[in-house]
Chain A
């Protein structure tokens, strides 16, 4: 029987480990490229100050990398223990990308990392530079494979469910690899890492300027960080647009929750800022917002690249709208899902009894209703809607922060160019304070992606309640707290070592 408490604790544990893991990853993704750019300037100019700058940021990169190393492996442990139904069912799809990621990470880390850190005076300048770039590219490619797997969960394609092995089997590697959802997700995710790396460099450099310490190196770092940040913030807008487009096409429930949209309409606007009415229930006629400021037509444009497009709301998706927009109700989908489950059961029985004709008929029934399979496990049509408030606020705060970072990078660069940056104390303080905001924005992005796809682990195929193992809730609770302690310890260690290193200054690297 589905155990809601077990499911909730398993989800909480996965969320905890994923959120902690994501505290370390974005800095690796972004800082690796910034270091590579700094070293390129050193190699091009031969100016030793750039070598020292590169080595300083490389040390901070190493601290982050060492502390964050293997924090992601915990999630694989959880797959095997807490989410065994899920890991069995997706094993065939996830095997290839995760194996490639593992091999790539191992070779990259053992070879090019070593040259990057140990090889300064042992290999040629160009070989060292190449290694630094390969570390940056390799780290990002490593993220690609993880996001291919995640993108497939958001939009499962290129597979077929095998009724004998109870597994999704890959029928097209290229469909899985070139899943548009995976690519938009990958680009947006690594883009957020680049912005995080830039915020880190700009924020710490700003701290040096405020303390009047290592001023020249801090200013030079600031220019690289802010330029990279400005370019990647613009890149983030485009990849965010593509991500939202993919969500609109494939995950309409997520889009409706992101926008707090209950009644769909043509030429739908985006709520730029607003406060949700928490008394609002699905199907009632209360207002969606207590107050809001809307940008007209923007949601239709963002979601479907068409100003006149219809954007379905939560009520349309739950109750259906077959008359005007060909949207099936959740109840209809649940009925078809139940037919698919019954067909799976009939297939199993027929196979056991050697009734090949019966098995063939059951298989046909299953294939006809396969795309509704997951709906058969839902208890209530309203279950298809993710938590609206959490998704809505996470999305809007993330977008707001992204906009702030763009403005910050622009003004940092502007005042650097006119030589007045050191006098702009408020701006420098804002840059320092923006470091934690960068982390917050990244975490919120993941909350939008993952909470927004509830109730599914595999979108429309496997609800979370069906993905867990039949284990004791107490075991999951125990390991939840164990992880909370270990990861908090790691985070404290990172902050302490990092701040000590920063306080020591940029000299002597």
Chain B
């Protein structure tokens, strides 16, 4: 019961805080747009994790790096 009351108070605190914002609303809009650009457009379209995309296990990834470290050293 105490936990629920506390959670309600915390929720109310955040809710009132957001509702009373003036400049903050514009800032949150910027944060929202930025997150969409960063995490959805850029991350998904342009920034795949190279090793996770191209290799399925850590052993394969380690092998790829070792290959890269040893073959380039020959040149």
Chain A residues proximal to chain B, CB less than 8 Å: 1-2, 59, 62-63, 66-67, 69-70, 73-74, 77-78, 80-81, 84-85, 87-89, 114, 117-119, 122, 163-167, 338, 341-342, 344-345, 348, 376-377, 465-466, 469-471, 475, 478-479, 482, 486, 490, 493, 497, 501
Q: Is the CB of A490 within 8 A of B34?
A: yes
The SS class assigned to the B binding surface is helix
Q: Is the CB of A66 within 8 A of B27?
A: yes
Q: Which of A77, A348, A469, A470 has the most CB of B within 10 A?
A: A77
29 pairs, A vs B, C-beta closer than 8 Å: A1-B75, A2-B75, A59-B23, A62-B24, A66-B28, A70-B31, A77-B42, A81-B48, A84-B49, A85-B69, A87-B51, A88-B62, A89-B65, A114-B17, A117-B24, A118-B16, A164-B62, A166-B65, A166-B69, A338-B73, A341-B69, A344-B69, A344-B73, A348-B70, A376-B73, A377-B72, A469-B50, A479-B46, A490-B34
Shortest C-beta distance, A418 to chain B (Å), equals 37
Q: A114 to B15, alpha carbons, bound, how many Å? A: 11
With A63-B23, A84-B50 known as contacts, the answer to whether A342 contacts B65 (CB < 8 A) is: no
The SS class assigned to the A binding surface is helix
Q: Is the CB of B30 within 8 A of A377?
A: no
Partner of A77, one of B18, B35, B43: B43
Q: Is the CB of B42 within 8 A of A482?
A: yes
Q: Is the CB of A62 within 8 A of B61?
A: no
- Write out, one digit per residue, whether chain B residues 27-43 have a CB within 8 A of any chain A CB (1) or not (0): 11011001101100011
Q: A345 to B66, alpha carbons, bound, how many Å? A: 8
Q: Is the CB of A1 within 8 A of B72?
A: yes
The size bracket of the interface on B is: 35 or more
Q: Is the CB of B30 within 8 A of A345?
A: no
Q: Is the CB of B48 within 8 A of A66?
A: no
With A77-B42, A85-B65 known as contacts, the answer to whether A501 contacts B23 (CB < 8 A) is: yes
Partner of B30, one of A66, A73, A479: A66
In the complex, chain A residues whose CB is within 8 Å of the CB of B50 = 80-81, 84, 469, 471
Q: Is the CB of B23 within 8 A of A69?
A: no
Q: Is the CB of B70 within 8 A of A344?
A: yes
Q: Is the CB of B35 within 8 A of A70?
A: yes
With A62-B27, A117-B24, A344-B70 known as contacts, the answer to whether A88 contacts B13 (CB < 8 A) is: no
In the complex, chain B residues whose CB is within 8 Å of the CB of A70 = 31, 34-35, 38
Partner of B13, one of A122, A345, A376: A122
In the complex, chain A residues whose CB is within 8 Å of the CB of B37 = 486
In the complex, chain B residues whose CB is within 8 Å of the CB of A67 = 27, 30
In the complex, chain B residues whose CB is within 8 Å of the CB of A117 = 17, 24
Shortest C-beta distance, A334 to chain B (Å), equals 11
Q: Is the CB of A78 within 8 A of B34?
A: no
Q: Is the CB of A62 within 8 A of B42?
A: no
Q: Is the CB of A342 within 8 A of B73?
A: yes
Q: Is the CB of A80 within 8 A of B73?
A: no
Shortest C-beta distance, A7 to chain B (Å), equals 12
With A85-B65, A118-B16, A122-B13 known as contacts, the answer to whether A345 contacts B24 (CB < 8 A) is: no
Q: Which of B16, B18, B30, B61 has the most CB of A within 10 A?
A: B30
In the complex, chain B residues whose CB is within 8 Å of the CB of A501 = 23
With A88-B65, A341-B69, A342-B73 known as contacts, the answer to whether A69 contacts B17 (CB < 8 A) is: no
Q: Is the CB of A166 within 8 A of B62?
A: yes
In the complex, chain A residues whose CB is within 8 Å of the CB of B75 = 1-2
Q: Is the CB of A74 within 8 A of B23?
A: no
Q: Is the CB of B14 within 8 A of A78?
A: no
Q: Is the CB of A345 within 8 A of B70?
A: yes
Q: Is the CB of A85 within 8 A of B28?
A: no
